[in-house]
């Protein structure tokens, strides 16, 4: 990190964590919240994952969180989200991460499949990242397009190591035994729950991802979970006719239901289809020390370096750096331009000139008939859906930001659940929200903008 210089003044009502100024919420789960942050000294943007120690202890998640932090420290690769540092207070843990602005790889296929050369480019980066993780003894165990991000240059970044495994978790038989992951992407030996090789299981998931990138749909899909597993056990799938013969052969070998005969990572890297246009990343490897991982759970660790997040009983003001950060390519027109409903992703936002209280009331009015329970906290809301089969609970976080006097930006984002489920919610809710959406131009129709 660069040093020197005086820290800029924090905006009124802003929250500071050490040298970082916290901004808008980027994502939210059951046990963590991710916020945009700015280094007050350098001006660089980061994403800070905030975990509540009390919740971690209550749900006995200490080992899992320690493992995630240790994993992020171990991995220093251009295709993996980089952990900058870890801070701690008596009540919270703050994981400072690289901030990328290109969205999820899932977003690139939400409108259809990728061309083979483009899919291969992303697949090559994915394999490089996963191969490096394996060389460090790290097995991801939840690889899917939604956990693959893109930076502003289109470089792939693997993220979300919350379910990852380290060598310490191997049993006497040298195998992992915790069944985890996302059903459509999980290897058959993981489902059978008899022990599995983490590297072979990750490789299966990579094969599913390659298929999805090139086909635009899943190789194994069924609304009934036992039926889905049956297809996975038998590897019942067929490649579409536009796949090249080289791609078909590679995917077939990666989606071999027998891990003993499944292709290895080394064989994938030497595959002729894979090697086309391949350039391994050039980066320096450095020694990593894990001695301080335990320290983040120590109540006495530098509590003076952080602050408790403040609550403000009015919409949070959105400052300039946050506003610009929401617009891809620094084009503020992207904040309000209309996009097709098919392009909605895991987050959507709109502008409104209606009073903030009226906006909150309208969202609540729309959500309840759609089967969502509403939890309100000032101008933040959480919409909690009922459990829907294998997809679990869909929950949606909303927040009203004050951009200027009498102008508000409203953000709705998937906090938990499936992205496709969130898209279904979007289609149902959009029409009902149109009467509070601001029309920048009189001749334009009201619109909700996805990102």
Question: What DSSP element (H or E) covers 55?
Answer: helix 53-58
The total of other beta-carbon atoms located within 10 Å of residue 126's CB is: 23
Could you report the per-residue pLDDT of 48-61, keeping only the tens digit for each? 988 888 888 877 77
State the Cα torsion 114-118-121-125 to the nearest 10°. Answer: -40
Question: Could you say which residues of the chain have pLDDT below 50?
Answer: 1-13, 299-305, 321, 328-343, 388-392, 441-451
In a domain, 264, yes or no: yes
Are 22 and 164 members of one domain? Answer: no
In a domain, 8, yes or no: no
Could you report the per-residue pLDDT of 253-265, keeping only the tens digit for each? 999 999 999 999 9
**CATH code of the domain containing 21:** 3.30.200.20
DSSP state of 379: T
CB of 415 within 8 A of CB of 328?
no
Active site residue 282: no
Are 363 and 438 members of one domain? Answer: yes
Are 387 and 406 members of one domain? Answer: yes
Domain end position, chosen among 99, 117, 145: 99
Count how many residues are written for the chain. 451
Domains of the chain: total: 3
Q: What is residue 338's predicted lDDT score, i.e. its pLDDT?
A: 42
**CATH code of the domain containing 343:** 3.30.310.80
Domain end position, chosen among 63, 79, 99: 99
d(CA 233, CA 258): 9
In a domain, 397, yes or no: yes
Are 140 and 270 members of one domain? Answer: yes
Are 70 and 135 members of one domain? Answer: no
Are 120 and 207 members of one domain? Answer: yes
In a domain, 285, yes or no: no
What does the angle CA 4 – CA 7 – CA 13 come to, to the nearest 5 degrees? 160
Q: For 115, what's the count of Cα atoms within 13 Å in the CB-facing half-sphere?
A: 2
d(CA 95, CA 79): 19
Domain end position, chosen among 60, 78, 99: 99
Are 116 and 259 members of one domain? Answer: yes
The total of other beta-carbon atoms located within 10 Å of residue 355's CB is: 13
Residue with tokens 């943007």: 45
In a domain, 1, yes or no: no
Are 111 and 256 members of one domain? Answer: yes
Domain ranges, residue 32 = 15-99
Q: What is residue 156's predicted lDDT score, i.e. its pLDDT?
A: 95
Point out the catalytic residue in the list 131, 142, 197, 202: 142
In a domain, 250, yes or no: yes
Question: What DSSP element (H or E) covers 226?
Answer: helix 225-234
Sign of CA dihedral 377, 383, 389, 392: negative
Are 160 and 245 members of one domain? Answer: yes
In a domain, 306, yes or no: no
Query: Do strands 380-385 and 148-150 pair parallel, antiparallel, or not at all (unpaired)?
Result: unpaired
In a domain, 198, yes or no: yes
Are 43 and 134 members of one domain? Answer: no
């Amino acid at each position: 990190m660069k040093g020197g210089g005086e820290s800029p003044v924090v905006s009124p009502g802003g929250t500071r964590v050490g040298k970082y100024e916290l901004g808008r919420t980027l994502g939210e789960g059951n046990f963590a919240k991710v916020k945009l942050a700015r280094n007050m000294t350098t001006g660089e943007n980061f994403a800070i994952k905030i975990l509540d120690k009390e919740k971690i202890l209550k749900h006995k998640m200490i080992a899992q969180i320690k493992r995630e932090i240790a994993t992020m420290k171990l991995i220093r690769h251009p295709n993996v989200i980089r952990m900058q540092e870890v801070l701690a207070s008596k009540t919270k843990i703050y994981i400072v991460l690289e901030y990328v602005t290109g969205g999820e790889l899932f977003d690139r296929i939400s409108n259809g499949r990728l061309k083979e050369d483009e899919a291969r480019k992303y697949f090559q980066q994915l394999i490089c990242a996963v191969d490096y993780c394996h060389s460090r003894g790290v097995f991801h165990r939840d690889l899917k397009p939604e956990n693959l991000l893109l930076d502003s240059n289109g470089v792939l970044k693997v993220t979300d190591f919350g379910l990852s495994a380290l060598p310490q978790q191997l049993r006497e038989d040298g195998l992992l035994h915790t069944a985890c992951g996302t059903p459509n992407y999980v290897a058959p030996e993981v489902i059978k729950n008899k022990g599995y090789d983490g590297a072979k299981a990750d490789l299966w998931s990579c094969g599913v991802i390659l298929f999805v990138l090139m086909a635009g749909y899943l190789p194994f899909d069924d609304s009934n979970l036992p039926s889905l597993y049956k297809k996975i056990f038998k590897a019942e799938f067929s490649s579409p006719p536009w796949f090249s013969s080289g791609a078909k052969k590679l995917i077939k070998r990666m989606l071999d239901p027998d891990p003993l005969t499944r292709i290895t990572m080394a064989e994938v890297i030497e595959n002729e289809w894979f090697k086309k246009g391949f350039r391994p990343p050039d980066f320096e490897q450095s020694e990593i020390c894990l001695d301080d991982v335990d320290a983040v759970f120590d109540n006495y660790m530098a509590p003076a370096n952080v602050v408790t997040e403040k609550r403000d009983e009015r919409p949070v003001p959105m400052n300039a750096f946050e506003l610009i950060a929401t617009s891809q390519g620094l084009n503020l027109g992207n904040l309000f331009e209309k996009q097709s409903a098919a392009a909605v992703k895991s987050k959507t936002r709109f502008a409104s000139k209606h009073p903030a209280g009226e906006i909150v009331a309208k969202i609540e009015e729309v959500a309840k008939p759609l089967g969502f329970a509403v939890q309100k906290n000032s101008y933040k809301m959480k919409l909690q859906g009922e459990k829907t089969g294998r997809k679990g609970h869909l929950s949606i976080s909303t927040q009203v930001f004050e951009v200027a006097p009498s102008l508000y930006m409203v953000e709705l984002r998937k906090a938990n659940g499936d992205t496709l489920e969130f898209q279904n919610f979007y289609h149902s809710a959009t029409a009902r929200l149109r009467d509070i959406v601001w029309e920048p131009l009189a001749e334009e129709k009201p619109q909700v903008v996805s990102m």
